[in-house]
A = this chain, B = another copy of it.
Amino acid sequence: MMQVIDIEWTDTEQQLAKSVFEKAYDREVKALIAQVHQKISQLNDVQDMWQLHDFLSIQRHTIDGKYDGRDSALLFVFAQLLQEGWVTMDELTGLSTDKIKKIGALTRM
């Protein structure tokens, strides 16, 4: 089995991870805010309003859960962010080859 949990992160890698994380978070949140503005332009009745509420409940839960900054979670989070398009492989330049390979393998799982 691929070892992904107890992997070591250097200080430089942790800084890179943090910065990529923040960029991805900003992008995702900006896209979400645009979606909310879009939904509001079509918000006319109480059903629309509770649908917006449900939408926000789900998004908040998803985003809060996804951006887990613990070392043991980072490879999984990066794989997910790559799949979803919030991060590009280029932005991970600076991580060890081993980590890049593992992230790549996780995106194909």
Contacts and interface: CB of A to CB of B under 8 A. Distances in A.
Interface residues of A, number: 17
Contact of A56 (B32, B37, B52): B52
A60 interface: yes
A53 interface: yes
B49 A32 contact: yes
A44 B53 contact: no
A57 B53 contact: yes
B53 A60 contact: yes
Interface string A76-92: 00000000000000000
Interface in A1-57: 29, 32-33, 36-37, 40, 43-46, 49-50, 52-53, 56-57
